[in-house]
Homo-oligomer: A and B are copies of this chain.
């Protein structure tokens, strides 16, 4: 009896669907050299094609998907023009340790050997230049060359991406898609034993903290709520004992962290301006606050707002705490949103995404497509909530059309502050280059002909209160865009301070 076979293209996708990878959506854009590979997606049960609008957005989406699935994602682009457009997205996944299998449909081996093809090449007959460039922003690069070992190579690509949680390049020649390989292989699970902590990342953080400590004259440790929530109270106590620093706790931490209040270096309960004067002075006069498990919103929950007043970031991020629900995924764009969300108290099991290190503007919109696809696969009622500025949105805005096409049901909160406020804070508050064309966001959504969408535009506190208090609005049963109109220079206080530091660093010689 002859051995059962399947095509190599199908083999790749069957592998990706298997547990624990559990990938059900493939991101990317069709192109000359990947079309027959894309056909194989439709042969695999529980697998669908996302149909992104461009490759950069697709790479962002793959990043968001991988984070929410806590697994891996797969991006398919085409040789040259496609893969290069995805570079910035892949570099972000590399910098932030996100596992993405980047499959690139490349010319057939025959074309490469004959160097016949000019289309999509640099015109110099060099077919390996893009792979070489990619090697700087991927864990490893693998090109399928030989039908005999191709399944092994595919398994290796998946394993490297998963174990290292970084992008891996897999070059898939168009003529190898239909090569037949033994189907039996799929019965042997992939070896995906988990990696140790990333030492580089850990060392970076430790070095940075040690450097700050070595410069500080009067440091204080401030223990906040997340210290208990993330089960690190023991480590906090060891830090107090090792450093001999004085320490304080916040009201929320007081109840949950079991800190010894009779300790000789215990300073008291810190509640910002409501603290006892000696505690306030001890914390605020310190030149270094080692804040453990910070939940900055603790300081702000007493903010009351006149319903008729304009919405401010200060109020928004605190108020948001009460609208969030366990299980939500919250994506925030680099800028006012990623700083503001620090003030928001998350309920249990809320997953936050922000591209903090790489910080590519526009990332969050693409990532939301991946996140909402992943979240709805995990549980159709799971909510995916994006906060993005009007400026950042413009970079990748058309990916909202892809989510509408896929019938996803995210909440898109557009913080309309009329331009690139984060850049204005760093430099050029009135500069022409930090201004943007003002869009009509409702009409923008309408132009995509959505079947099931609603849009809102809110100015006052009471407008947003009405939405946040509406049980129908709370149910993620349609695509929603909510424009929040803010003052142009309104920003979270921590962002304003960070921006000052950035400008100073740029100017230094």
Interfacial residues, chain A to chain B (CB-CB below 8 A): 29-33, 35-36, 38-39, 41-42, 49, 51, 53-56, 80-81, 84-85, 87-88, 91-92, 94-96, 107-111, 116-124, 129, 132-133, 136-137, 174-175, 200-201, 204, 357-362, 394-398, 401-402, 404-405, 420, 423, 426-428, 431-441, 443-444, 446-449, 502, 505-509
- Least CB distance, A289 to chain B, in whole angstroms: 20
- Least CB distance, A466 to chain B, in whole angstroms: 25
**Cα–Cα, bound, A505→B114 (Å):** 12
Q: Which residues of B contact A39 (CB under 8 A)?
A: 427-428, 431
Tell me whether B175 and A395 are in contact (CB under 8 A).
no
- Which partner residue on chain B sits nearest A38 by CB separation? B433
15 contacts between A and B (CB under 8 A): A29-B361, A32-B502, A36-B507, A38-B428, A49-B433, A87-B88, A107-B505, A120-B360, A122-B136, A394-B398, A397-B398, A401-B437, A404-B437, A405-B437, A438-B449
- Least CB distance, A182 to chain B, in whole angstroms: 20
Contact partner, A117, options B33, B116, B358, B505, Cβ 8 Å: B505
Q: Which residues of B contact A427 (CB under 8 A)?
A: 35-36, 39
Q: Which residues of B contact A507 (CB under 8 A)?
A: 36, 108, 174-175
Q: Which residues of B contact A133 (CB under 8 A)?
A: 87, 133, 136-137
**Cα–Cα, bound, A427→B40 (Å):** 13
- Knowing A85-B56, A508-B110 touch, does A428 contact B35 (C-beta < 8 A)? yes
Tell me whether B359 and A120 are in contact (CB under 8 A).
yes
Contact partner, A95, options B51, B121, B502, Cβ 8 Å: B121
Tell me whether A51 and B123 are in contact (CB under 8 A).
no
Q: Which residues of B contact A508 (CB under 8 A)?
A: 108, 110-111, 175
Tell me whether A84 and B80 are in contact (CB under 8 A).
no
Contact partner, A423, options B35, B51, B175, B437, Cβ 8 Å: B35
Tell me whether B506 and A174 are in contact (CB under 8 A).
yes
**Cα–Cα, bound, A394→B357 (Å):** 29
Q: Which residues of B contact A94 (CB under 8 A)?
A: 122
**Cα–Cα, bound, A386→B439 (Å):** 23
- Which partner residue on chain B sits nearest A124 by CB separation? B200
Contact partner, A136, options B91, B129, B436, B439, Cβ 8 Å: B129
Tell me whether A505 and B111 are in contact (CB under 8 A).
yes
Q: Which residues of B contact A51 (CB under 8 A)?
A: 432-433, 435-436
Tell me whether B53 and A395 are in contact (CB under 8 A).
yes
- Least CB distance, A134 to chain B, in whole angstroms: 9
Q: Which residues of B contact A30 (CB under 8 A)?
A: 420, 423, 428, 431, 433-434
Contact partner, A31, options B35, B120, B204, B423, Cβ 8 Å: B423
- Which partner residue on chain B sits nearest A406 by CB separation? B437
- Which partner residue on chain B sits nearest A132 by CB separation? B136
A91-B122, A175-B509, A444-B447 known; 4 new pairs, CB 8 Å cut-off, are A54-B395, A56-B85, A95-B123, A122-B136
**Cα–Cα, bound, A409→B435 (Å):** 21
Report which residue of A38, A502, A506 has the largest number of chain B beta carbons within 10 angstroms of its beta carbon.
A506
- Least CB distance, A324 to chain B, in whole angstroms: 27
- Least CB distance, A121 to chain B, in whole angstroms: 7
Tell me whether A509 and B110 are in contact (CB under 8 A).
yes
